């Protein structure tokens, strides 16, 4: 939009006056943020209204992206960028003596997700708006986000994330769009005079679902889409009938907290209630929106696509069946045909223990009508497929089995598309986790490699780099990230490579200042910034990284004179509160950091900075400063990864196993520009099949590795007698489930190579440049365009390849 600086300043000062009845000098940073937020809402208002008017007039097919997590990050800066107002506002505030960046960090970062899954949903919403797709997010408005992490004595302590305490300037509560979600009670089918059956409910536990809408601004295209998050409340009828405090509490808890565990299903009824709550409310609002504009349900699949981000929203399938049959009087056959045409599903894991299931008894009690429908889906699936595939395969794949409702199987059976998130992952789905269902529905399986919103992760997070890129190739890459590949022309431009180093140094200084203020550690900006940021999980193998730090520490102690480039090892990671082993590793890293950072013999050659409370905003600070991107999961375990893409786009080279999208990153940037190592997925599966992995063999045959492992239990690292023993035992007594010891040697080899190569800054920056130039293929815009073409069948803005 068009806005002069003068107009902006006038608007801003007026907003301050209106909101606070005082002048600028009397307002806090947060108050200034809030005023800016209100202004941006006002500037964007016409776009938001116009977008939904347009969609309605054109009767556009709508995409509904259901996800139990969204991690959008702060919105002020990205909304301003997308509206084309960032420079105007920054300059205008400067004139008023204010620092925009300082004000923008006063915005709370909503932690409505655990990690990659929620962040992917947010990146895709951003891309849908930017591609002019009629995209809608559907999720839960958690009263408390993911816990705030602090360290006490090196241990993780979880504090509540009260992100709504000061309100949320971006949301609109839409009471007129609220709807009822039913739990429990009895349900029976009553025959009607016309011969049909009507679902009758009694003694249900009714919950009122109230939507809060947030505008999602497209990149300079006047499009604003909607993210709809649902909040659970007492139904208005409770005012008349009365209610007990117990009932109110039971309702409140549904949207009170996000489950802080992103690996295993929580296994609790509350989680199931959360899942049905937002699935039901979302599908009800879709059907109502569709019904206002269309006669009958025939065109539903032409006008609606519902996407299931992992299995948590799978109940949208039986819920849509319920609405079509019970409220719109469709036959089973018609309802089922429509449902499967509408639904598509993304799988995010091949870890068996992370596949969601619910005990039938619990499911039936909480969702009696939905259970009846799942029983019928199960019965028809068995009836149709047993003659073709035999009883064994059908027993293994039916939605109901072993006393459980199997959500992933229900999702595949009820959708027309199931996709993995990187080529290796999709292949493993077909060969391993969902092998049997792949026999039944081969045509449904496809791959959609993950992507990232380059606007947030490059343009906003790394303005120095973005300006430098502009100066070389102009700004078209900002809309078409694939244009970044034209940067390869500058591979031998010595001046440009030096400028890249300078940009990196600037970003390192900014991160260094934060590390200093948070942790009291001084880091050198000429050090290698070696970064591992992701959830703490055994399969992600932060432990392998720890062993390299111990090795470097011992090497310096042994041979103080050896010259190697200084290093800063940077970690960001939250552990699920119930994940004991992960928390032990946090303690280990912090204890090691204490030892290394305070050893005078080490000085500034080696530092370890475990930055607490990793999230989107911290990622935006850390990623631009990284030289090395640690992507070292056990091959086959990381479905895709997306921090690998963010780091690549900011010129970090990957130190990576051949896992998930690392494989595609290595292919895109060229093998010589990354550091790959370790067992392949095939080798890992080989060990499983033969059962001949013996971790202790590596310990016995490699004296250096033995020495490193022994520091866990010999007192070298103070303060970890319990944790050290536990971790040591997990590797040697319990045979190292994630093959850390098998990959140790090749990992260390590449770390040494990195230390060697980093000293040749020209060579190093050439690798960095190759990564930036190749990163465009991982733009979420391209990924979402592929979803649109192949799965959702909706039009979008054209993109260059």
Ligand X SMILES: *Cc1c(COP(=O)(O)O)cnc(C)c1O
Closest CB 685 distance from ligand X, rounded Å = 22
As a residue count, the chain comes to 801
Q: Which of 413/622 has CB closer to ligand X?
A: 622
Residues in region 61-100 near ligand X by CB under 6 A: 71
Do the Cβ atoms of 70 and 229 come closer than 8 Å? Answer: yes
Q: 36-52: string of b/e by CB count within 10 Å (b at 16+)?
A: bbbbbbebbeebbeebe
Contact segment (CB under 6 A) with ligand X among 249-257, 358-366, 615-623, 730-738 equals 615-623
Q: Work out whether 508 is an interface residue with ligand X (CB under 6 A).
A: no
List, in sequence order, every residue forming a beta bridge with 189; answer none if it has no partner. 199
Q: Work out whether 616 is an interface residue with ligand X (CB under 6 A).
A: yes
Q: Counting beta carbons within 10 angstroms of the beta carbon of residue 585, is it exposed (0 to 12), middle (13 to 18) or buried (19 or more)? A: buried
User: How far apart, in whole angstroms, are the C-alpha atoms of residue 704 and residue 752?
Assistant: 14
Contact segment (CB under 6 A) with ligand X among 130-138, 347-355, 522-530, 635-643 equals 635-643
Site string for ligand X, 565-604 (x = CB under 6 A): ----------------------------------------
Site string for ligand X, 26-65 (x = CB under 6 A): ----------------------------------------
Q: Work out whether 115 is an interface residue with ligand X (CB under 6 A).
A: yes
Contacting ligand X (CB under 6 A), which of 137, 235, 641, 776? 641
Q: 599-634: string of b/e by CB count within 10 Å (b at 16+)?
A: eeebeebbbbbbbbbbbbbbbbbbbbbbbbbbbbbb
Q: Which of 358/614 has CB closer to ligand X?
A: 614
Closest CB 652 distance from ligand X, rounded Å = 12
Q: Work out whether 534 is an interface residue with ligand X (CB under 6 A).
A: yes
Contacting ligand X (CB under 6 A), which of 88, 225, 466, 642? 642
DSSP class of residue 114 equals -
Closest C-alpha to 354, from 433, 288, 285: 433
- Show the beta-strand stretches assigned E in 297-355: 304-309, 343-346
User: How far apart, in whole angstroms, are the C-alpha atoms of residue 525 and residue 529?
Assistant: 8
Contacting ligand X (CB under 6 A), which of 154, 260, 612, 615? 615
Closest C-alpha to 421, from 795, 778, 44, 36: 778
Q: Work out whether 643 is an interface residue with ligand X (CB under 6 A).
A: yes
- Show the beta-strand stretches assigned E in 242-342: 304-309
Closest CB 542 distance from ligand X, rounded Å = 11
Contacting ligand X (CB under 6 A), which of 74, 119, 348, 545? 119
User: How far apart, in whole angstroms, are the C-alpha atoms of residue 477 and residue 485?
Assistant: 9
* Residue that is written with structure tokens 């990924």 in the block: 783
Q: Which of 119/796 has CB closer to ligand X?
A: 119
Q: Work out whether 624 is an interface residue with ligand X (CB under 6 A).
A: no
Closest CB 657 distance from ligand X, rounded Å = 13
User: How far apart, in whole angstroms, are the C-alpha atoms of residue 752 and residue 429?
Assistant: 35
Contact segment (CB under 6 A) with ligand X among 13-21, 113-121, 145-153, 739-747 equals 113-121
Taking each helix axis as running N to C, give the angle between helix 86-95 and helix 76-83, from 0 to 180 degrees, rounded to the nearest 10. Answer: 110
* Residue that is written with structure tokens 């390869």 in the block: 488
Q: Work out whether 148 is an interface residue with ligand X (CB under 6 A).
A: no
Which residue intervals of 185-294 are DSSP H helices?
238-241, 245-252, 269-291
DSSP class of residue 712 equals T
Do the Cβ atoms of 727 and 585 come closer than 8 Å? Answer: yes
- Show the beta-strand stretches assigned E in 502-596: 528-533, 567-572
Catalytic positions are 348, 534-535, 540, 642, 646
Q: Which of 371/675 has CB closer to ligand X?
A: 675
Q: Work out whether 116 is an interface residue with ligand X (CB under 6 A).
A: yes
Closest CB 622 distance from ligand X, rounded Å = 10
Q: Which residues contact 43 (CB under 8 A, 6 or more apart)?
A: 1, 3, 83, 85
Q: Which of 210/531 has CB closer to ligand X?
A: 531
Closest CB 772 distance from ligand X, rounded Å = 18
Q: Which of 154/619 has CB closer to ligand X?
A: 619
Q: Work out whether 619 is an interface residue with ligand X (CB under 6 A).
A: yes
The count of residues interacting with ligand X (CB under 6 A) is 12
Residues in region 370-409 near ligand X by CB under 6 A: none
Contact set with ligand X (CB under 6 A)? 71, 115-116, 119, 534, 615-616, 619, 641-643, 646
């Amino acid at each position: 939009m068009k806005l002069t600086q003068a107009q902006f300043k006038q608007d801003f000062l007026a907003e301050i006056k209106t909101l606070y009845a005082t002048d600028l000098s009397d307002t806090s940073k947060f108050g200034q943020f809030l005023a800016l937020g209100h202004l941006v809402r006002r500037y964007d208002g016409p776009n938001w209204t116009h977008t939904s008017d347009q969609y309605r007039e054109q009767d556009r097919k709508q995409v509904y992206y259901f996800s139990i997590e969204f991690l959008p990050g702060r919105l002020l800066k990205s909304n301003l960028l997308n509206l084309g107002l960032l420079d105007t506002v920054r300059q205008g505030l400067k004139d008023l003596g204010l620092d925009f960046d300082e004000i923008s960090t006063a915005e709370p970062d909503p932690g409505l997700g655990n990690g990659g899954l929620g962040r992917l949903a947010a990146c895709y919403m951003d891309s849908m708006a930017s591609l002019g797709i009629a995209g809608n997010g559907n999720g839960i408005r958690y009263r408390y986000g993911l816990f705030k992490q602090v360290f006490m004595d090196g241990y993780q302590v979880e504090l509540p994330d009260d992100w709504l305490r000061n309100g949320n300037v971006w949301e609109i509560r839409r009471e007129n769009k609220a709807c009822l979600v039913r739990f429990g009670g009895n349900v029976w089918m009553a025959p009607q005079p016309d011969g049909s059956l009507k679902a009758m409910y009694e003694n249900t536990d009714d919950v009122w679902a109230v939507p809060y809408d947030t505008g999602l601004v497209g990149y300079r295209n006047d499009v604003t889409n909607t993210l709809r998050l649902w909040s659970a409340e007492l139904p208005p009828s409770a005012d008349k009938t009365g209610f007990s405090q117990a009932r109110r509490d039971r309702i409140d808890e549904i949207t009170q907290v996000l489950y802080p565990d992103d690996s295993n299903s929580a296994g609790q009824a509350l989680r199931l209630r959360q899942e049905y709550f937002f699935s039901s409310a979302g599908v009800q609002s879709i059907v109502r929106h569709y019904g206002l504009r269309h006669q009958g349900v025939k065109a539903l699949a032409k006008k609606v696509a519902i996407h299931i981000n992992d299995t948590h929203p799978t109940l949208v399938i039986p819920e849509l069946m319920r609405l079509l049959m019970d409220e719109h009087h469709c036959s089973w056959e018609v309802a089922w045909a429509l449902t499967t045409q509408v639904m598509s599903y993304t799988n995010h894991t091949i870890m068996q223990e992370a596949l969601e299931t619910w005990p039938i008894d619990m499911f039936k009690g909480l969702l009696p009508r939905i259970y009846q429908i799942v029983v019928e889906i199960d019965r028809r699936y068995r009836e149709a497929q047993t003659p073709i595939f035999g009883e064994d395969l059908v027993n293994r794949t039916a939605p109901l089995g072993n006393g459980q409702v199997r959500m992933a199987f229900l999702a595949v059976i009820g959708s027309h598309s199931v996709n993995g998130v990187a080529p290796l992952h999709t292949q493993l789905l077909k060969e391993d986790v969902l092998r049997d269902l792949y026999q039944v529905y081969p045509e449904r399986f496809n791959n959609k490699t993950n992507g990232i919103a380059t606007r947030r992760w490059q343009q906003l997070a790394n303005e120095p780099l973005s300006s430098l890129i502009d100066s070389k190739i102009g700004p078209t890459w900002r809309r078409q990230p694939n244009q970044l590949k034209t940067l390869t022309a500058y591979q031998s431009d010595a001046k440009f490579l030096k400028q890249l180093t300078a940009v990196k140094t600037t970003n390192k200084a900014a991160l260094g200042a934060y590390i200093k203020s948070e942790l009291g550690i001084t880091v050198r900006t000429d050090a290698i910034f070696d970064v591992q940021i992701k959830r703490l999980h055994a399969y992600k193998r932060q432990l392998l990284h720890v062993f390299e730090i111990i090795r470097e520490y011992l090497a310096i102690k042994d041979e103080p004179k050896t010259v190697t480039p200084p290093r800063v090892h940077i970690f960001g990671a939250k552990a699920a509160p119930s994940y004991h082993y992960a928390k032990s590793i946090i303690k280990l890293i912090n204890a090691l950091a204490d030892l290394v950072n305070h050893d005078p013999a080490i000085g500034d050659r080696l530092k370890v900075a475990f930055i607490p409370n990793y999230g989107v905003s911290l990622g935006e600070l850390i990623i631009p400063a990284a030289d090395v991107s640690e992507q070292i999961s056990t091959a086959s375990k990381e479905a895709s990864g997306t921090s690998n893409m963010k780091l690549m786009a900011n010129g970090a080279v990957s130190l990576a196993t051949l896992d998930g999208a690392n494989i595609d990153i290595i292919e895109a940037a060229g093998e010589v520009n990354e550091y790959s190592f370790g067992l392949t997925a095939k080798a890992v599966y080989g060990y499983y099949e033969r059962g001949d992995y013996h971790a202790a063999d590596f310990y016995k045959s490699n004296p250096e590795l033995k020495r490193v492992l022994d520091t866990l239990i010999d007192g070298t690292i103070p303060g970890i007698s319990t944790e050290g023993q536990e971790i040591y035992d997990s590797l040697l007594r319990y045979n190292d489930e994630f093959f850390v010891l098998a990959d140790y040697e090749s990992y260390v080899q590449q770390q040494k190579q990195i230390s060697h190569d980093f000293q040749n800054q020209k060579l190093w920056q050439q690798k960095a440049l190759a990564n930036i130039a190749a990163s465009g293929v991982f733009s979420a815009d391209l990924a979402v365009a592929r979803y649109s073409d192949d799965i959702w069948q909706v039009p979008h803005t054209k993109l260059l390849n």
